[in-house]
Amino acid sequence: MKLFCSYLRARLGALALFLAFWAIFILMAKLGGMAEDNIRYAAALCALIGAAVMVFDGARFRRRHLLLQELAARTMLAEDNLPESANLLERDYEALVRALQQERAELVSAQDQKLRDMDAYYTLWAHQIKTPIAAMRLLLQQRDDPADQPLAQELFSIEQYVEMALQYQRLGSSSSDFVIRRCALDDIVRQALRRYAPLFIRKKLALRYEPCTARVLTDEKWLLFVVEQVLSNALKYTNTGSITIREAPGPALVVEDTGIGIAPEDLPRVFDCGFTGYNGRADKKATGLGLYLCRRVCRKLSHTIGISSEPGRGTAVTIGLASVERVQE
């Protein structure tokens, strides 16, 4: 009914003109003395022809309407699929649509190129900055001065942020270097523990870990990134007590700490991009990207990640691992 009303509004002028000619014909026929039966017959024939033309034109109107709706629903408009123009005015509209489409394509192309250039720049920067970081770490190791430990810790934080920026760029790329194979979960966890061992020692935190027995169908590098981010958060917000890493049924890897915990109102948003929450605002150093990247990586690997916490009692992060097999003992 809505389409029919739209059609009548679009053809209102032609319909009014037809009715006017029809009325004039009947009036002139009566004034000319034509028999009533002949007038009715001629009027009915005109009405039948008009109705036939209206049905044909209405069907054509409907087809054009549906085609335009389909094109409008698409992200990109294919110019060749536009319905054929029926008159000069429609050809003018078609020319306008083609001009707008061309302008849109040029804008999209320019934006894509800008994004590629920016991606290449930040990727190059992240790689180049690693050189002076490595040089500074080597200089600190050569000095072997306990007073340099705070500098070493800050340098380690810089490395973390650079690695996070690099992984962020890689995740946004359409050609992320995922290599899916079966990996020993224990090897991945031990790599993360070796990297963060100095922090455990410096903060005097106990580590409770039992070797994992699962082999995981995953990308070792990206899963290691997730484990390191979760372990980094646990170390950052735990000042006393211990950190427990264990394998759980499901299977899953669970990282539990006895830290400050997360406020209940912040818990639903901890995986949002840029969200730091109460703890992050108090820390002044949180980026709000760590857990966000972890969730993106887990989704790409068909893994899951969840978090539970109680303020003042600690936090538990569970990484669900799909498709595993037990290590042969």
Characterize the bridge pairing of strands 324-326 and 314-320: unpaired
Query: pLDDT above 70 covers what percent of the chain?
Result: 84
Q: What is the mean pLDDT of residues 49-74?
A: 75
Give the pLDDT score at 35.
76
Q: Is the peptide bond before 311 cis (omega within 30 degrees of 0)?
A: no
pLDDT per residue as tens digits for the range 135-190: 887 887 777 777 777 788 788 888 888 887 777 777 766 556 788 899 999 999 99
Question: What average pLDDT does the structure give for the chain?
Answer: 80
Give the pLDDT score at 80.
59
Phi, psi of 184 (to 5 degrees): -75, 120
pLDDT category at 328 given cuts 50, 70, 90 is very low
Sheet holding 304-310, edge to edge: 206-209, 242-248, 252-257, 314-320, 304-310
pLDDT per residue as tens digits for the range 212-262: 988 889 999 999 999 999 999 999 899 999 999 999 887 899 999 999 998
Size (the chain), residues: 329
Query: What's CA 82's distance to the chain center, in Å?
Result: 31
For residue 164, count other CB atoms closer than 10 A to its CB: 19
Q: Are 32 and 39 in contact (CB under 8 A)?
A: no
Q: Are 18 and 47 in contact (CB under 8 A)?
A: no
Give the pLDDT score at 59.
81
CA gyration radius, the chain: 35
Give the pLDDT score at 329.
41
The CATH class of the 181-326 domain is alpha beta
DSSP letter at 87 equals S
The full set of domain ranges for the chain reads 2-73, 108-172, 181-326
Judged on CB neighbours under 10 Å (0-12, 13-18, 19+), 10 is middle
- This prediction has a pTM of 0.62
Q: Which of 123, 160, 166, 167 is nearest to 295 (CA)?
A: 167
pLDDT category at 86 given cuts 50, 70, 90 is low
